[in-house]
Structure 1
């Protein structure tokens, strides 16, 4: 559809006088077939298919591509160098609902205003972070066409966000704090399979057939099969007390913890195996093309590169006992990473919460181990508490990415680690969803 149907439609839609209302009608038809192919319900908004919010699917909106193509053609006609051809340029007719000339002028005005305002910071990132865009005043004609098209796309996405704010259920992702966006490529979509892809999209927008949704749609009983509480999606995945006592959430938590432990253990062993830096001066070795120097490798090891004696304990197969050389305690963090030579210990606690309650989970874990960190500091150790979260629907939180970066997991290894953690949490929640009606708990 993306590379077969869309290019064949865009060329005639760009050249001929087709009104926007007709294009929107075609998009509704395409959306209906796309939902059937992905196994999505009809009630799912088009934001779930074409939006670039928290979950970005590799499907483009036909109406958006139509507008971008018309605006690009309008810019080409306006930038003609021959004055005779420019005066004889045709007027692009697209109906009364939307015109390329007005959209182009609005985009230009917005870009000029952005030049006057200057670069601003969005979100909670530090000053200066984020991608910089070329200034409108210094751009050449080719760059200006790209800037105008990007501005049209930004306005379309802003319209989707405005629509999502008004949606009480499918727009709840707008209130998520500290959750990283998840982009699904075509390769990921083919590897996921039909059921998993359908579960991922429906869970992100809360349109799974939970008892609470079925009660709202068809008037069925909203009670949870395991307890007398209303069975919303949040209740099934993170809030059922019966599931908690049966160990369902613990099992999913351990699946994610295994992935995180493997990543940190591989990084620890690789860093400990590096030769220690020499205190004497040595000539720089010759580095062939395509090879990385030892200094570059050690610079990418993060905090682990400061010492070669890091140790790691995980609360998985057997009960974790906090290292007695640091402090004696009955608390059991999920991961303990420490270096005797540096007198530095990392207390890492994993949580798989509901995406809308990430910050609360982070604060709870920090307070839980604050006294333990204080006791370790009294013994002469530097204790750092690192709560990390992976959302129950597969959305990784920024605290997890910060920990991986602090440990020196960067680049391709970082992306693969995030992907594995997301897949583990998503598969665990998918299994919990499949077993939501079973009174007994068993997993494969």
Structure 2
């Protein structure tokens, strides 16, 4: 019966657990699960996400059955069910494809060093074309509007989304539809990550609403 539990039921159970954990720790409801279960945050609780443990257990079960030394088991085609929302077999196949791609291509260097140098040939009498590199968010549009909270409550632009929240700075472009939310905070140095998680949780619904309305959004 345990193996037949869908991931949606596990997610609901984790939500209930997280709610009680926040209340017990005195944390606000906006504190995200990343901050609650993350291993790189300041909190670092000695517990793991129930959803992550569920995924690990399902993946281990699939690999155990598929790679069994007993041919009757490995060839039986036993299906590991997880519900409609998440597929363990698809996740394993994607991981295999990613590893296979790394074996073929190798680890790419994201820095400028050791990057391949492209040579562009120019015909005699012609000038070498100049390329303009787009660097940074603000380079994605030439027409920006900006609102800044200077002691007065900032009203979020209705054309982007309807909300009662007011970030310190809002920049938006109508064409293309881009919006940047800037929220300032002054935490203690040892609480920077916690403050970031709190701010992120506060505005996550607004970010999702902007994206649903077709705005490319940054926070």
- Normalising to structure 1: TM-score of the pair? 0.26
Larger Rg: 1
Larger relative contact order (CA 8 Å, sep ≥ 6): 2
- Normalising to structure 2: TM-score of the pair? 0.49
